[in-house]
């Protein structure tokens, strides 16, 4: 019974999906590092 109440309490405050905080981190990472696509080499 205690475990059920504890799980209900945790799920009640859970943020599902991409949170605002995670979205900001992703956008900052993309700004600094790009989208992770390899660029063509221009060196000979």
| Higher pLDDT, residue 31 or 35 | 31
pTM above 0.85, yes or no: no
DSSP annotation of 13 reads T
Check pLDDT > 80 for residue 5.
yes
Model confidence pLDDT, tens digit, residues 14-33: 888 888 999 999 999 888 88
Query: Average pLDDT in the 3-11 region?
Result: 92
First-last CA distance in the chain:
69
Burial classification of residue 17, based on how many CB atoms lie within 10 Å of its CB (0-12 exposed, 13-18 middle, 19 or more buried): exposed
**SS3 at position 19:** coil
């Amino acid at each position: 019974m205690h475990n059920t109440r504890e799980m209900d309490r945790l799920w009640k405050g859970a943020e599902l999906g991409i949170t605002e905080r995670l979205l900001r981190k992703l956008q900052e990472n993309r700004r600094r590092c790009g989208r992770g696509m390899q660029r063509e080499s221009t060196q000979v």
